Chain A
Amino acid sequence: EAQVTQNPRYLITVTGKKLTVTCSQNMNHEYMSWYRQDPGLGLRQIYYSMNVEVTDKGDVPEGYKVSRKEKRNFPLILESPSPNQTSLYFCASSLTGGRYEQYFGPGTRLTVT
């Protein structure tokens, strides 16, 4: 089954404790992206990747890191989480770019206390 998976689905952590949210797709997509969803703000792009070893900032990259060492994986790293990063995070992938249909993971709800 074609899908995007994220782990963990729920995470509660404390300020400053490094964490990684994993994202994996099995559709051989070149493009992958991370979004955060906040009430009243819709989805905002954090980072995206056009292919292996190619990443670039989205609209709200501060406080986040990503890497793309393999085509299927695109982890999101919060090296020193803060409470304003409490949000619902979605990973997405598409064939070749942002203007094509994007397939979303189920989401990761992160709470930073």
Chain B
Amino acid sequence: GDSVTQMEGPVTLSEEAFLTINCTYTATGYPSLFWYVQYPGEGLQLLLKATKADDKGSNKGFEATYRKETTSFHLEKGSVQVSDSAVYFCALSKTGANNLFFGTGTRLTVIP
């Protein structure tokens, strides 16, 4: 079945460090891929998305590229800030499907 695998956390980085959070997926066809972010005490909100192979989603300095050959959608940011501390979820959804399949989430803590 469809699934998403994220790197285990937690991840702790110093401010201005480079961030990569790995995400790989298993799905037939051509799913849409998403990164959602959950700040402390809040619900999830969409960070970025990509709907077809080689698309790059970007927002707030974060980027992720839809790589069909490696079934991956890794999240990257060149210079993290303390305000980026949150839990990040990779998710996929397929055409005609009515739900999102979420990864287990990766907690990021950025220290000054």
Q: Which residues of A contact B (CB under 8 A)?
A: 4, 31, 33, 35, 40-45, 48, 50, 56, 58-59, 90, 92, 97-99, 101-107
Contacts and interface: CB of A to CB of B under 8 A. Distances in A.
Given A43-B89, A90-B43, A98 B100 contact: yes
B81 interface: no
Contact of B94 (A90, A99, A101): A99
Interface of B: 4, 32, 41-46, 49, 89, 93-95, 97-100, 102-105
Contacts of A106: 41-43
A4 to B, nearest CB: 7
B38 to A, nearest CB: 8
Contacts, number: 58
B3 to A, nearest CB: 10
A107 B98 contact: no
A102 B37 CA distance: 12
A97 B98 contact: yes
Given A98-B93, A104-B45, A107-B43, A40 B104 contact: yes
Q: A-side binding surface: helix, strand, loop or mixed?
A: strand
Contact of B97 (A44, A99, A101, A104): A99
Q: B-side binding surface: helix, strand, loop or mixed?
A: loop
Contacts of B104: 40-42
Nearest to B93: A99
Contacts of A98: 93, 97-100
Residue from A40, A56, A98, A104 with most neighbouring chain B CB atoms (10 Å): A98
B105 A42 contact: yes
B99 A104 contact: no
B22 to A, nearest CB: 15
